[in-house]
Structure 1
Amino acid sequence: MRIGFVGGGKVATAFGRYLHAHGLAVSNYYDRHEDKLSHACRLTGAHPCQSAAEVAKMSDMVLITTRDDQIEGVCRDLADHGVIRKDHLVGHMSGAHPSLILHDAARQGAAIFSLHPLQAFAEEEKALADLPGTYFSIEGTDPRLASVEEIMAKTGNRFFRLLPEHKRLYHLSACIFSNYLVTLMACGLEALSHSGIHPEDGFPAMMPLIQGTIDNIARLGPPKSLTGPIARGDVTTIEAHLTAMADPSLASLRQFYAFMGLKTLDLAIEDVLQDPLKANALKKVLEMG
């Protein structure tokens, strides 16, 4: 199985290096940026190509690893140039899009799919180091995607199989876990800074609490991991928190706190907060914001 990449960015290069290290044949790359192309080929032993069409001609599996908004157009160009074969596997590595955006390749008889690693690729070396423990999703319906599963078996990575109609919900959940977690931390640091503690000092102090909570979620699940005033039904403390954000400059933080409080209350009612009177009292206070 010869694997070629159209696009030589961080995802393509880190993943190509990972495949190469596991004895898989990374045959070629194409990227319009010469520095990216030479870097990817040097680290994988791949052949540098002068066009995406050349990649397709020399590969059994074509991974289109361009920007998300370019994937469909690249696939269309490959089909228009007549370089997509019936024995091709054509995929992309976008988390946001289903494999259906590769419909032009499917019309040529190719098996289409998306292969998405559940990790961030902010830095190539860090991404490469994290790949052994990374889960992947394989999305598509063609029976020939067993070949993609075989690649995962060779690398030892666990994976999910997804249907095309479920891809966007899957990606949405990944954004909540990753991107919105960053926002949650930023809001916590904002509140901390108003207490007079600088974020550079406060975040390391909060890290044991953050890590302990994540460990509890992994061990017990979200409902049983809840602690604090909402889990206890402590209306007085929640009222005090809201009062502490009475200043107009904290209006957005107060709104965020109230919204998250209501979502946390829903979670608490599932398990740790069994008193309906306390639950109703908390809901009224949080809805008033």
Structure 2
Amino acid sequence: MNVVIVGRGRVGRGLASALQGTEHPSVLIPGHAFDADAVTKADVIVLAVPDAAIATCAEHIAAVGNRDASILHCAGARGVDELIACRKAGFPVGVMHPLASFSDAPKGPSFEGVAFVIAGDAGAVGSAATIARSIGAVPLTAPIHGPAYHAVASLVANGAAALVNAAVPALEQLGLTRQQSEHALGALLGTVAENVREVGVPRALTGPIMRGDAQTVAAHRAALGESAPLTAQAYEAVVPLILRCATDLGLSSAQAQAIARALE
């Protein structure tokens, strides 16, 4: 299966890198300089372009592409209707959204175990599932793409990164370097992710709030308030969410109130 990836941004580069060495060779082309020759030879065309450019790219493909090729876009916030021009021209179309974090690191993310949320016409869904499995990802067929779904993905991925950004200064104040802090907290997040996969939520929650330890929570707040006000602000902002999770685990009303008082 010959895969053409349109768009050399983070997602396009990450997918192309992952497909290297698989039985599905990929060609990475820029979205701003449309390569009609590459498109006509493709079995699958993956649009990894900005959301606003998807419909325009679809129009170009509809005019020159191989009608047997599956057309996929990677935008979690947009549905399959972005590819209406290709669908009208007879192409099978779909959405393939990797539920992964793509940074600007030279090496793309590992897709092992990553959910690829896919939807669309049967042929396109089949192509997306084949791509996902070839790089170790898990295809999840569900027509849920749109703003609400994408907001959830953004909340988890961006929220985790933002919390680490708020926490790093506190570790630097304690004597770690920024790099040491980032590596340590990144590994910590990895264990949280593993717990979420293995036991789910709320059972993945750990720590003093889950145990109802108001004294330790008060000590946390005092220590951070003195040395790292940004970290203290982040801590206080997420406590209500942690309390709700802990309550679902069985934290009593009295324990929850004691923790809330510790932050007053």
Same fold (TM over 0.5): yes
| Structure 2 match to 1:279 | 256
| Structure 1 match to 2:140 | 160
| Structure 1 match to 2:6 | 6
Equivalent positions of 1:141-156 (< 5 A) are 141-144=120-123, 145-155=125-135
Q: Secondary structure, in 3 states, of the residue corresponding to 2:202?
A: helix
The gaps in structure 2 that reach 5 residues or longer are none
CA offset digits 1:126-159 (Å, max 9, x no partner): 327x24x152424323122323334445555321
AA aligned opposite 1:127: G
Q: In structure 2, do the counterparts of structure 1 residues 253 and 220 end up closer, same or farther at CA, with 3 Å as the change threshold?
A: same
Equivalent positions of 1:1-289 (< 5 A) are 1-9=1-9, 11-16=11-16, 18-19=18-19, 21-26=21-26, 29-31=28-30, 51-79=34-62, 82-84=63-65, 86-122=67-103, 126-127=107-108, 130-131=110-111, 133-144=112-123, 145-155=125-135, 157-163=137-143, 165-194=144-173, 196-200=174-178, 212-244=191-223, 250=229, 253-273=231-251, 275-286=252-263, 288=264
Q: Please, which moves more after superposition, 14-23 or 86-95?
A: 14-23
C-alpha distance in structure 1 between counterparts of 2:181 and 2:19, whole Å: 40
C-alpha distance in structure 2 between counterparts of 1:206 and 1:17, whole Å: 26
Q: Secondary structure, in 3 states, of the residue corresponding to 2:5?
A: strand
The gaps in structure 1 that reach 5 residues or longer are 34-49
Q: Secondary structure, in 3 states, of the residue corresponding to 1:63?
A: strand
C-alpha distance in structure 1 between counterparts of 2:257 and 2:86, whole Å: 55
Shift of 1:227: 3.5
Looking at secondary structure, tell me which structure has more helix per residue.
1
- Aligned 8 A contact 1:230 1:282 in 2: yes
- Aligned 8 A contact 2:41 2:66 in 1: no
| Structure 2 match to 1:36 | none
Shift of 1:280: 2.5
> Which structure: larger Rg?
1
C-alpha distance in structure 2 between counterparts of 1:124 and 1:187, whole Å: 21
Q: Secondary structure, in 3 states, of the residue corresponding to 2:56?
A: helix
Q: Secondary structure, in 3 states, of the residue corresponding to 1:94?
A: coil
CA offset digits 1:72-104 (Å, max 9, x no partner): 22223444xx22565332112234433322222
